[in-house]
Amino acid sequence: MFRSVPPATRALILANVLVYLLELYSPEQVLSAFALWPPHTPLFRWWQLVTYAFLHDPGSWMHILFNMFALFMFGRGLEEYWGGRRFLGYYFVCLVFAALTQLAVENAGGAQEPVLGASGAIFGVLLAFAWYFPRARLILIPIPIPMPAWLFVTLYGLLELFFGVTGTMSNVAHFAHLGGMLGGAVCILYWRMRHRFNLR
């Protein structure tokens, strides 16, 4: 079944899994070098704006499982619709936007903790899926009620905003999730504007 997954989505999943295995072998070294540390800390490096999105909590396999399952479920459709090159470009735009958004929020609050995980990019993928396939039926766990993708993603985004503003589940980078969605929206709107300009 995995061979049927388009190549870019498959490569992203494999890269995340391989890095996770490396984390299990040497978590402190990997996290100190490649997780996203706040800029005011001595551990911050510019490449962490990308590498953090390939790391996951080495103490919980559920973290990477949920992210890779979402990438598997929603990335396939987008890659088949866009092609691998555009999908990868979109994915990396989302993860960088997610990183910058989270850093801006952490800088305001003086946080010292690193950020890691593909969730910011995954939320960008969710936004794009709802944008291009708004009537696809999805289920928001734990609510066992099918709903259109546009409503699912809208509710999920509002929930993340609520959690971020109220400080609920403070160990989760809610603003990185929102930043990934923002980056996705900016990317899609840019493509649309460029397409309209080229038609004139």
Task: State pLDDT tens for residues 100-120.
Answer: 999 998 877 667 788 999 999
* C-alpha distances in Å from residue 195, one per residue of 113, 190, 191, 200: 41, 8, 6, 9
Handedness of CA 91, 95, 96, 98 (dihedral sign): positive
The tens digit of pLDDT for each residue in 36-65 reads: 999 888 999 999 999 999 999 988 889 999
Average pLDDT, the chain: 89
pTM: 0.91
The mean pLDDT of 14-23, rounded to a whole number, is 95
Contacts of 48 (CB under 8 A, 6+ apart): 34, 35, 36, 37, 99
How high is the pLDDT of residue 2?
A: 60
Indicate whether 85 pLDDT > 60.
yes
CATH fold for the domain made of 2-199: Rhomboid-like fold (1.20.1540)
DSSP 71: I
Average pLDDT on 132-155 reads: 84
pLDDT at 92: 97
- Domain ranges (residues) in the chain: 2-199
pLDDT for 200 beyond 60: no
Task: Say which amino acid occupies 97.
Answer: F
